[in-house]
Amino acid sequence: GDVNKDGVDDIIIGAVNADPNGTPSGQTYVVFGGTGVGAGGHIDLSSLNGSTGFVLNGIDAGDSSGSSVSGAGDVNGDGIDDLIIGAIAGDPNGTEGAGETYVVFGKNTTGSNPNFSTTFNLSSINGANGFVLNGVDQNDHSGASVSSAGDVNGDGVADLIIGAPQADPQANNAGESYVVFGKVTQDVTPNIAENQTAVMTVTSSDVDANDTKTFSISGGADQALFSINANTGALSFVNAPNFELPGDNGANNVYDVQVTVTDSGGLTGSQNIAVTVDNVIEPNLAQAGPTLAGQQVASFDGSGDAISFADTAVHEAGTADLTVEAWFFWPGTNSGQKSIVAKGDFFGDEGWGLRLVDDAIFLFADSNGGGTADADLAVQTKSLSGLTAGWHHVAMVLDSTGSSTALTGYLNGSSSGFTPGGGGGDTDGSLTLDGDGIAGSLGFAIGAPSDLSGAFFNQSIDEVRIWNTARSAAEINANINKSLNGNETGLQGLWKLDGNGVDATANSVNGTVRGDTTFNSQDAATVGAGGGIASFLHLATDVNGDAITYSNGTPVNGAVAQSDTFANHPQFTYTHDGGGNSSGSYQITANDGTASTDQTVSITVGT
């Protein structure tokens, strides 16, 4: 057959008494066919170099590998002919003289593909480059005759036949012959989502339906990352893979493993599996720390945290269409107003917004900033009462098809339950765009209104998207759990909130993280009884580098006053009122002009 796929048949020769690994371990020579082969009248087998042919070495002394050799046809269905080699005296699993048969897969060596190695040790067969068929009983001498059997079962793949002349099925040395069906063995390539361990269940067939089959991990660059149930073939990752932090050998989220199945007679079959791990949005992650703490979501404290953006055309509907999407964490109940993402303020500016109002979600668009029940305002609302606490997806779609612009809301991909109105007196959920559409001069913000004036969100938000198209329900659902690249058609802005406010699209509308003034100073001290004094130098930092002003609240069991300032950090002195051993305290407030943070200082009275 054509073992190297160069279009020319090749020659196989057995040398049963050769001793590459002891006498007689045996050798087999493959000579590649081609123009001019044998033109000199003879071929020196010692000159085979991988490009002219190669040598296959037997494994153990006394195996007599090469006692029978043949082309095997295309046993694994890869389009390349394979080889079959008998070792009549092999001792598989310690069974003396049972015999062994080796099938070695051919490979394409044309073009830039590598040649065979000069020598190939049959001990290196691993399921990917071939497989071994073990004889059954002592002195059966399986492999005394081997050959391709053609396509016996009509599945389009070549089969094998193996003779065991000294087997004793009915009488002493009556002999047995085994037909082994070929099958397509190219790599299995399943895709799974990240953050899960289950991969697939490996299955196999056996000519003896009563044989017990055992599954095992037998190879692959990433074999240590997998486990398999020996009885069922259920293949799993030991630890759930993370797309953002690939753990595979190639660091490309393709994990390679080889699985082997062994039947009760010792026959084996192997399969290479390449598992591709796909990226998904991860809104089910635990909440991050205060404001973008380097996790996969952005968390907001409800008292000044926000991500603000300058005014650009990216987030304006103009006179065309607009879709805004976001994931948000719903705690199960809500009181007051919490802005998820917005351009402008609620019913007061020309803009749009997605906002929680008590136990409902409000979506609105206003093209003139009047905030009144006129043709320029559209509102859609949906009650969230009874909604399971956790991550949910919301989308607002403005569709300018027709004489007016319709506003449609979606929660977790469904528009069911949204009703027009609920605020501003709107009754039909649509609006008429004025000359400049929804433009206005305000930017937009995540976690607050544009002007950062209140309604700060106090949970977590993830994966905010703005499109310049009216996305259909099918389009929203098709991407609702997918992580986008930023180059999708119609995508104007994509903020993954993975530790920053960076826009992943080419528009690069990047936001500024606001809020989160943090104290880094002492918050406790011990003073002596009878009017003890303690001084504190208060240090606070602001994520934006904004100037900070400090003030103190009413102290408990004492008096407090600012006594000095060092490098813009104030020193406050607390004086205990001497009233016995009662502990004291006071509160210090740091304000960056947008939001404030409090620190309580505890005073313990010593003896």
12's CB contacts (< 8 A; 6+ apart) are 28, 29, 30, 31, 69, 70, 71, 83
CATH (domain of 444) = 2.60.120.200
Which tens digit of pLDDT belongs to each residue from 32-65? 999 888 888 889 999 999 999 999 999 999 999 9
Query: Predicted confidence band at 20 (pLDDT cuts at 50, 70, 90)?
Result: very high
Burial (CB count <10 Å: 0-12, 13-18, 19+), residue 208: exposed
DSSP 81-147: -EEEEEETT--GGG-TT--EEEEE-----STTSPPPPSEEEGGG--SSSEEEEE--STT--TTSEEE
When divided into structural domains, the chain yields a total of 4
Percent helix, strand, coil in the chain (nearest 5)? 5, 40, 55
Q: Indicate whether 515 and 538 sit together in one domain.
A: no
**Quick one: average pLDDT of 562-585?**
74
Q: Indicate whether 504 and 411 sit together in one domain.
A: yes
**Quick one: average pLDDT of 317-334?**
84
Q: Which of 458, 490, 520 is the last residue of a domain?
A: 520
Does a structural domain hold residue 285?
no
**Quick one: average pLDDT of 196-221?**
81
Q: Indicate whether 257 and 396 sit together in one domain.
A: no
**Quick one: average pLDDT of 456-474?**
91
Does a structural domain hold residue 247?
yes
Q: Indicate whether 507 and 539 sit together in one domain.
A: no
Q: Indicate whether 302 and 261 sit together in one domain.
A: no
Strand runs labelled E in 458-497:
460-467, 491-495
Query: Predicted confidence band at 325 (pLDDT cuts at 50, 70, 90)?
Result: very high
Q: Indicate whether 342 and 408 sit together in one domain.
A: yes
Which tens digit of pLDDT belongs to each residue from 259-289? 888 877 776 777 889 999 987 754 433 332 2
What pLDDT score does 239 carry? 87
- Mean pLDDT over all residues of the chain? 83
pLDDT higher than threshold 90 for residue 10 = yes
Entry pTM: 0.46
Does a structural domain hold residue 459?
yes
Which tens digit of pLDDT belongs to each residue from 158-208? 999 999 999 988 888 889 999 998 876 556 788 888 878 899 988 876 655
Does a structural domain hold residue 185?
no
CATH (domain of 41) = 2.130.10.130
Backbone angles phi, psi at 457, to 5 degrees: -75, 145
Does a structural domain hold residue 217?
yes
Q: Indicate whether 507 and 549 sit together in one domain.
A: no
Q: Which of 463, 498, 520 is the last residue of a domain?
A: 520
Q: Indicate whether 170 and 199 sit together in one domain.
A: no
CATH (domain of 199) = 2.60.40.60
Q: Indicate whether 370 and 471 sit together in one domain.
A: yes
Residue with tokens 């705690």: 331
Does a structural domain hold residue 445?
yes
What pLDDT score does 580 carry? 67
**Quick one: average pLDDT of 493-509?**
86
Tokens of 574: 């607390």
Q: Indicate whether 417 and 543 sit together in one domain.
A: no
Percentage of the chain modeled with pLDDT above 70? 82
Q: Indicate whether 391 and 510 sit together in one domain.
A: yes
**Of 19-23, 224-228, 284-288, where does mean pLDDT reach its minimum?**
284-288
DSSP 263-287: ETTS-EEEEEEEEEEEP---TTSPP
Q: Indicate whether 506 and 538 sit together in one domain.
A: no
* Length of the chain counted residue by residue: 607
pLDDT higher than threshold 80 for residue 221 = yes
Nearest to 445 by CA among 578, 280, 231, 300: 300
What pLDDT score does 561 carry? 83
Does a structural domain hold residue 307?
yes
For residue 267, the enclosing domain spans 191-278
Q: Which of 455, 485, 520 is the last residue of a domain?
A: 520
* Local structure of residue 404 (DSSP, 8 states): S
Does a structural domain hold residue 141?
yes
Which tens digit of pLDDT belongs to each residue from 67-108? 999 999 999 888 899 999 999 999 998 899 999 999 999 999
**Quick one: average pLDDT of 297-317?**
78
Burial (CB count <10 Å: 0-12, 13-18, 19+), residue 441: exposed
pLDDT higher than threshold 50 for residue 211 = yes
245's CB contacts (< 8 A; 6+ apart) are none
